[in-house]
Amino acid sequence: MLIYSLANTGRGFQQLDGGPTMSMDFTEQWSNMQKMFLPTSEVSTALQKMFLPTPEIAATFRENARRFWENQGRALDSMQALANGWFERRRAGTHSARETAERMCGTVTYFDLMQTYQDWARGAFERIMADGLSCQQQIMAATGALASPPLAPSVSEKQPEPARSETRAPARSKTP
């Protein structure tokens, strides 16, 4: 077992047995570590070329990224339309409720009171149904977007396959 003794020399620690000096300058240490662990420029260039996609794959990546962000834009537009419709229906409901309350306070008979309430309830039910229809349309649009192929086919997939010859074995006769 080898044990090193270190002495502070003012410029770093030096091994007492005459070994190399270990610098306390972190910039120098970082530089030395880079030299030890990072590849040379030729190796680095070769590694970069090895991991870069081919032009065909890069074109497919580009197309997939374009489609992805276009779909995101369509999804945001659809969600905005859904939200805008919901707010319009809530605003109409609020206006209708205010008018109904005013009319109910001015009714003279119980029949007029119930008729006013029924008119308001019918409008509220129509707005609820419109909410449900709008939500259903949003879900169908999202499902349609999810069902579409998410990725562009690569160049090799776009090329037609050679025709296969279909040969069948002769049918066997059923004889007893």
- Whole-number percent of the chain with pLDDT over 90: 36
pLDDT of residue 156: 57
Q: With both helix axes pointing from N to C terminus, report the angle between 55-105 and 110-147 in degrees, rounded to the nearest 10.
A: 180
> Residue 39 is part of which domain span?
6-46
Same domain, 42 and 83: no
Please indicate whether residue 18 or residue 147 has the higher confidence score (pLDDT).
147
Instruction: Judge contact between 49 and 148, C-beta under 8 A.
Output: no
What rounded mean pLDDT belongs to the chain?
77
Is 56 part of a structural domain of the chain?
no
Q: Looking at the 3D structure of the chain, how many domains does it have? A: 2
State pLDDT tens for residues 141-172. Answer: 877 766 666 555 555 555 555 555 555 555 55
Those residues whose C-beta lies under 8 Å from the C-beta of residue 64, and which sit 6 or more positions away, are 150, 151, 152
Is 20 part of a structural domain of the chain?
yes
* Phi, psi (deg, nearest 5) at residue 8: -80, 115
Is 171 part of a structural domain of the chain?
no
State pLDDT tens for residues 31-84. Answer: 777 777 766 677 677 777 777 888 888 899 999 999 989 888 888 888 899 999
Average pLDDT over residues 99-110: 93
Q: What is the pTM of this model?
A: 0.52
